């Protein structure tokens, strides 16, 4: 206060009614302590929030925060100790309920205390780095109640007991369990882990180990898997109900490990119901279950793949080496297709179209198909059969499907050029005899082959088809321009471009007069249209339709080969002819003539000629007459040539042709590579060549070496002077 | 004004200010008081006493509540 008598305005400080000293703080604290007691004793009704808040505020303001905080801690602790005792003395059945009730009380009280002491929480605690009230409350609870000696173990055991009862199928109070676990989770992950999770995992793994032992003794593979699935679902439900998500993962791992991983091999190899049996019996459900369950285990899928691959390979090998089956190529390939379908379906339906499984399937098939060297030929025969008559009346989509399936088999072949050779031969026969069921089907198959193997493969096939069409056009042109020919015998000429059609030796014979005149007309017409070309007649491949009248007036139409036609036409002018006369007149080579006469005279039901003497073979001095007594039920009679079944020499011939082709291919490939690389190491060259030729056939390194040697001889390659392992291209 | 929407704020001199609950809740302390899980007296009676706040101050506070609601 100023002493001078100046009229200075003084601003008096607030008249403090409160003197902050020890006595004041004790008094205030007493009030607060009393309030806390009330709160914990459920007597909080009627407490004056404002007053308590003000008191706590004042304590902190006057720097008694320390006292407040420690007082709080001790009061709460003492109450918690009381609570712990009451929980301990609870009976068996109501232990958990009591615990939960006390926990709820404590939580509520804690909230109220926190609200009251908000000022302290906002200012004193952060600046002094103390634990916030809520956390403090949890910690105290944990220390005093949960970790108190009696309660802790009892809690774990009770929980586990409840869970095991539920696993055994009893009804338990899942609400209660959920609340307990929630409390534990609120208390912190380590508490949860120690008190609950770790013992739970332990108990679970023991339980499931025992379960799995029991089940595996009793059930077969399929049932066992069903049970495992059921257990997994139950456990996941249970976990969703009242466990933490982290636990969910742990628990399923435990389950999976005990029930599946430990028994995986045993399940796969189980007699009468294991993986192999399921594959054979098309048990899609069981297989997909196994796939899903084993997927949870590392290497599970690997094991399944291994067993499946080896099984496919085994059964495939059996199929391919079964001599009985091999007698009928069409059957054989059909079986292969069926097997492929079956396993394809299995991978699709049961294994979820898993890429790795597809790969395993394909490689196994590739392996055993190539074990049989006749596979390319048989596949070609199968296609031949289908295109001749198997696909008659089948819808376009089905045709596509069948051809696609054949293509998958084709992709497995290593020696695709063998297939090409055989296919060309069969195609030629089909086209020439007009036996193909549908041009569209042929074309679509060629397109598929082109996409698979490239243009080179199918170029000749396409030319063959084109030739057919061109010939048709030519014939139409011929008849259009020479209208006088319409009355005479109808001629149908198929012009083959040399080199694209499978080579047959061209055999000529003397055609009857009418026919040869017609042929000449055709020749002049054709050469008039296309200059600079040469035509040679392949009479050994032709066919003819003859109208015949026999002695008793029977009229028949005979379908015969060109040679047979020549022979029969001779009988227009003579009643009897000897072998020699026929030979002279027709100039047909001996072997063919003999076969021709055999088919005309000696085949029952088709003997339009009579032979004297009636011996089995045709000799030089035999005489032939027209068989006036010939009879047949149908008007049209087909007289085939006595079949020359694909004999050994022919197979050998085809194989040799393929070999030759391969040599040329290897040469071409080597030269291509050398031109671009100029210099290359020996082993690199072999690797490159094999890679290039992979799509056609598997190149043998010794063969490649031989071709390299021959190229060196021809001065196209040379060994590098400095490094004997390298080759150089000679420009 | 419905009874349920209001609280009574009483100053040290005994003046009673009846304000909307929404206005009073601008103050965090009053909000905690009224929404606390415990059954404190304030909540039950719907009145809060401030023995250390004078009437003039409390009046200003109420004006602040409404200003806050409207402009802040």
- State pLDDT tens for residues A300-310: 788 888 888 88
- Interchain contact, B40 vs A39, CB within 8 Å: no
B49, A118: Cβ pair inside 8 Å? Answer: no
Mutate which of B38, B39, B53 to test chain A, going by most A C-beta atoms within 10 A? Answer: B38
Q: For residue A56, what is the enclosing H or E element?
A: helix A49-61
CB contact under 8 A, B29 and A53: yes
* Chain B environment of A44 (Cβ under 8 Å): 38-40
A613 prior amide bond cis, ω within 30: yes
Question: What is the tens place of the pLDDT at every residue in B25-60?
Answer: 899 888 888 887 777 777 778 888 888 889 999 999
Q: Which residues of A303-341 are buried (b: 16+ CB within 10 A; e: fewer)?
A: bbbebbbebbbebbeebbeeeeeeeebeebbeebbebbe
H helices present in A174-220, as ranges: 174-186, 189-191, 198-218
What is the mean pLDDT of the segment spanning A282-304?
81
In this predicted structure, the answer to whether residue A390 has a pLDDT above a threshold of 70 is no
Report for A41-55, A130-144, A380-394, B11-25: range of highest mean pLDDT: B11-25
Residue in chain A lying closest to B50 (CA)? A50
Cα nearest neighbour of B35 on chain A:
A115
Q: Residue B65's pLDDT band (boundaries 50, 70, 90)? A: very high
Distance from CA of A49 to the nearest CA of B (A): 6
Going across the sheet that includes A636-638, the strands are A543-549, A555-561, A636-638
Which residues from B are below 8 Å from A41, CB to CB? none
Give the DSSP H or E segment for A612.
strand A609-612
Chain B: nearest CA to A193, how far in angstroms? 30
Decide if A321 contacts A372 (C-beta within 8 A): yes
Over residues A549-594, the pLDDT tens digits come to 887 777 888 888 888 888 888 888 888 888 888 888 888 888 778 8
To the question of domain A648-729 being in CATH 1.10.357.10, the answer is no
Domain that holds residue B27: 6-71
Q: Average the pLDDT over A117-140 and give the result.
A: 87
Cβ-count burial of B31 within 10 angstroms (0-12 exposed, 13-18 middle, 19+ buried)? middle
More confident residue, A102 or A327: A102
Greatest CA separation found in chain B?
33
Check if CATH label 1.20.1310.10 holds for domain A375-529: yes
Mutate one of A41, A47, A49, A60 to test the B interface: name it (highest B CB count within 10 A): A49
Q: Which among B40, B48, B52 has the least Cβ separation from residue A44? A: B40
Span A462-501, pLDDT tens digits: 888 888 888 888 888 888 877 776 667 777 777 877 777 7
Mutate to test the interface with A, among B9, B37, B50 (most CBs of A within 10 A): B37
- Range A22-146 classified under CATH 2.30.31.10: no
Nearest to A50 among B28, B44, B50 (CB): B50
User: What pLDDT is attached to residue B58?
Assistant: 93
A496: DSSP letter: P
Q: What pLDDT score was predicted for residue B16?
A: 92
Kindly report, residue by residue over A11-42, the tens digit of the pLDDT: 777 666 666 788 888 888 898 898 888 888 88
- Closest Cα to residue A96, out of A155, A54, A46? A155
pLDDT (mean) for A453-458: 78
CB contacts of A108 in chain B (<8 Å) are: 37-38
Sorted by where each begins, the domain ranges of chain A are: 22-146, 375-529, 542-638, 648-729
Q: Which residue in the block uniquely carries the two structure tokens 């690997």?
A: A302
ipTM comes to 0.88
CA atoms of A166 and A383, how far apart (whole Å): 63
Give A109's contacts in chain B (Cβ within 8 Å).
38
User: In CATH, what number is assigned to the domain containing residue B18?
Assistant: 3.30.710.10
Average pLDDT, chain B: 87
Chain-chain contact of A46 with B52 (C-beta, under 8 angstroms):
no
Q: Strands A609-612 and A636-638, how do they pair? A: unpaired
For the stretch A685-706, pLDDT in tens is 888 888 888 877 888 888 888 8
Nearest CA in chain A to B44: A46
pLDDT (0 to 100) of residue A18:
61
Distance (Å) from the alpha carbon of A111 to chain B's nearest alpha carbon: 7
The radius of gyration computed from the CA coordinates of chain A, to the nearest angstrom, equals: 49
How many folded domains does chain B comprise? 1
Topology alike, domains A375-529 and A648-729: no
Q: How far is CA A720 from CA A490, A678, A702, A706, A707, in A?
A: 66, 11, 20, 18, 17
**A223 Cβ partners below 8 Å, 6+ apart?**
none
Residue pointed to by tokens 């006036």: A628
* Stretch (H or E) spanning A728: strand A726-729
Of B32, B39, B50, the CB nearest to A115: B32
* Cβ contacts of B24 on chain A, cutoff 8 Å: none
Chain B residue set in contact with A, beta carbons under 8 Å: 28-29, 32-33, 36-44, 48-52
Sole residue written with tokens 């296309």: A530
Please list the residues that pair with A173 across neighbouring strands: none
**pLDDT tens, position by position, A167-217:** 777 777 778 888 888 888 888 878 888 888 888 888 888 888 888 888 878
| Closest CA–CA distance from residue A125 to any residue of chain B (Å) | 18
Longest dimension (CA), chain A: 176
Per the CB < 8 A criterion, the answer to whether A216 and A231 are in contact is: no
What confidence tens digit (pLDDT) does each residue in A510-557 have? 788 878 888 888 888 888 888 888 888 877 777 788 888 887 777 888
Give the mean pLDDT of A288-303: 81
Alpha helices in A587-647 (DSSP H): 590-601
C-alpha to C-alpha distance for A253 and A478, rounded to whole angstroms:
83
Give the nearest partner residue to B41 out of A47, A54, A108, using CB atoms. Answer: A47
The pLDDT score that the predictor gives to residue A505 is: 67
* Helix/strand/coil for A32: helix
Asked, for residue B67, whether it belongs to a domain, the answer is: yes
Predicted local confidence at residue A24, as pLDDT: 84
Question: Is the distance from CB of A179 to CB of A186 less than 8 angstroms?
Answer: no
What pLDDT is attached to residue B19? Answer: 92
User: Which of B28, B29, B39 comes nearest A45 by C-beta?
Assistant: B39
Q: Which residues of A touch B38 (CB under 8 A)?
A: 39, 44, 47, 108-109, 111-112, 115
**Nearest chain B residue (CA) to A111:** B37
Would you say residue B53 lies in a domain? yes
| Measured distance CA(A165)–CA(A159) in Å, rounded | 10
Q: Which CATH class is domain A542-638?
A: alpha beta
Residue of B nearest to A104 (CA): B37
Asked whether residue B1 is assigned to any structural domain, the reply reads no
Q: Do B32 and A118 touch (CB under 8 A)?
A: yes
Q: CA-nearest residue of chain A to B9?
A: A50
Q: How far is A263 from chain B (nearest CA, A)?
A: 55
Burial of A586 (0-12, 13-18, 19+ CB in 10 A): buried
Taking CB atoms and an 8 Å cutoff, what residues of chain B touch A118?
Answer: 28-29, 32
The pLDDT score that the predictor gives to residue A645 is: 46
CB pairs A-B closer than 8 Å: 50
Contact status, residue A577 vs residue A601, Cβ threshold 8 Å: no
B48 contacts in chain A (CB < 8 Å): 49-50
Determine phi and psi for B50, rounding to 5 degrees. -120, 90
Element of type H or E holding A581:
helix A579-586
Q: Are A489 and A514 in contact, with CB atoms under 8 Å apart? A: yes
Which of A49, A109, A118 lies nearest to residue B40, judging by beta carbons?
A49
Residues of A with CB under 8 A from a CB of B: 39, 44-51, 53-54, 108-109, 111-112, 115, 118
Alpha-carbon gap: B29 to the closest alpha carbon of chain A (Å): 8
Answer yes or no: are the C-beta atoms of A200 and A220 closer than 8 Å. no
A648-657 confidence digits (pLDDT tens)? 566 677 778 8
**In the block, which residue shows the tokens 């009892």?**
A154
Cβ proximity of A174 and A241 under 8 Å = yes
- List the one residue out of A527, A561, A530 whose CA is nearest residue A546: A561
pLDDT of residue A216: 79
């Amino acid at each position: 206060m100023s002493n001078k008598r100046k009229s200075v305005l003084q601003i008096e400080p607030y008249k403090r009614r409160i003197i902050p000293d020890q006595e004041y703080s004790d008094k205030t604290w007493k009030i607060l302590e009393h309030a806390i007691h009330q709160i914990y004793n459920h007597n909080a009704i009627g407490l004056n929030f404002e007053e308590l808040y003000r008191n706590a505020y004042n304590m902190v303001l006057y720097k008694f925060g320390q006292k407040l905080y420690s007082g709080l801690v001790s009061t709460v602790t003492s109450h918690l100790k009381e609570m712990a005792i009451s929980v301990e003395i609870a009976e068996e059945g109501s232990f958990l309920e009591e615990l939960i009730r006390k926990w709820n009380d404590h939580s509520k009280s804690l909230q109220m205390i926190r609200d009251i002491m908000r000022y302290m929480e906002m200012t004193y605690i952060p600046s002094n780095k103390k634990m916030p009230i809520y956390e403090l409350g949890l910690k105290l609870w944990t220390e005093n109640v949960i970790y108190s000696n009696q309660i802790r173990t009892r809690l774990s055991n009770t929980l586990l007991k409840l869970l095991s009862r539920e696993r055994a199928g009893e009804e338990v109070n899942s609400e209660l369990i959920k609340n307990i676990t929630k409390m534990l989770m609120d208390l912190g992950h380590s508490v949860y882990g120690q008190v609950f999770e770790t013992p739970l995992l332990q108990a679970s793994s023991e339980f499931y180990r025992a379960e799995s032992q029991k089940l595996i003794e009793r059930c077969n593979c399929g049932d066992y898997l069903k049970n495992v699935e059921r257990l997994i679902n139950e456990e996941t439900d249970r976990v969703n109900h009242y466990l933490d998500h982290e636990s969910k993962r742990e628990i399923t791992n435990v389950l999976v490990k005990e029930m599946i991983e430990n028994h995986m091999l045993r399940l796969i190899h189980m007699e009468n119901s294991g993986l192999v049996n399921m594959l054979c019996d098309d048990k899609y459900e069981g297989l997909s279950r196994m796939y899903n369950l084993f997927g949870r285990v590392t290497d599970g899928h690997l094991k399944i793949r291994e067993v499946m691959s080896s099984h496919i390979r085994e059964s495939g090998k059996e199929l391919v080496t079964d001599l009985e089956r091999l007698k009928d190529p069409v059957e054989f390939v059909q079986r292969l297709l069926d097997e492929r379908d079956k396993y394809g379906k299995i991978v699709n339906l049961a294994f979820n179209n898993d890429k790795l499984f597809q790969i395993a399937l394909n490689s196994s098939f590739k392996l055993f198909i190539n074990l049989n060297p006749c596979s390319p030929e048989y596949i070609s025969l199968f296609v031949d059969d289908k295109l001749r008559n198997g696909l008659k009346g089948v819808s376009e989509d089905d045709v596509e499907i069948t051809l696609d399936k054949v293509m998958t088999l084709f992709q497995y072949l290593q020696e695709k050029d063998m297939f090409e050779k055989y296919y060309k031969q069969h195609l030629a026969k089909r086209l020439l005899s007009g036996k193909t069921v549908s041009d569209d089907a042929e074309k679509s198959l060629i397109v598929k082959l082109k996409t698979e193997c490239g243009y080179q493969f199918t170029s000749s096939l396409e030319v063959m088809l084109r030739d057919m069409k061109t010939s048709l056009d030519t014939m139409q042109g011929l008849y259009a321009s020479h209208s006088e020919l319409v009355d005479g015998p109808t001629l149908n000429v198929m012009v083959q471009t040399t080199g694209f059609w499978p080579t047959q030796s061209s055999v000529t014979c003397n055609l009857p007069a009418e026919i040869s005149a017609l042929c000449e007309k055709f020749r002049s017409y054709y050469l008039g249209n296309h200059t600079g070309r040469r035509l040679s007649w392949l009479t050994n491949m032709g066919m003819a339709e003859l109208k015949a009248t026999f002695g008793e007036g029977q009229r028949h139409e005979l379908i015969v080969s060109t040679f047979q036609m020549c022979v029969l036409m001779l009988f227009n002018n003579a009643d009897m002819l000897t072998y020699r006369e026929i030979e002279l007149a027709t100039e047909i080579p001996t072997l063919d003539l003999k076969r021709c006469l055999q088919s005309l005279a000696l085949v029952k039901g088709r003997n339009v000629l009579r032979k004297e003497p009636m011996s089995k073979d045709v000799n030089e001095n035999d005489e032939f007459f027209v068989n006036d007594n010939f009879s047949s039920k149908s008007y049209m009679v087909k007289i085939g040539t006595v079949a020359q079944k694909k004999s050994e020499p022919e197979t050998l011939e085809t194989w040799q042709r393929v070999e030759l082709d391969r040599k040329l291919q290897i040469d071409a490939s080597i030269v291509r590579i050398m031109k671009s690389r100029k210099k290359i190491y020996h082993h690199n060259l072999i690797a490159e060549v094999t890679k290039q030729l992979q799509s056609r056939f598997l190149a043998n390194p010794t063969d490649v070496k031989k071709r390299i040697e021959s190229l060196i001889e021809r001065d196209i390659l040379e060994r590098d002077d400095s490094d004997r392992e390298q080759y150089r291209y000679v420009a | 004004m419905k009874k349920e929407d209001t609280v009574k704020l009483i100053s040290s001199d005994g003046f009673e200010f009846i304000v909307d609950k929404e206005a009073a809740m601008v103050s965090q302390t009053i909000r905690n008081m009224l929404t606390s899980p415990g059954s404190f007296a304030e909540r039950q009676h719907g009145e809060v006493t401030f023995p250390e706040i004078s009437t003039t101050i409390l009046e200003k506070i109420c004006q602040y509540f409404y200003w806050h609601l409207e402009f802040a």
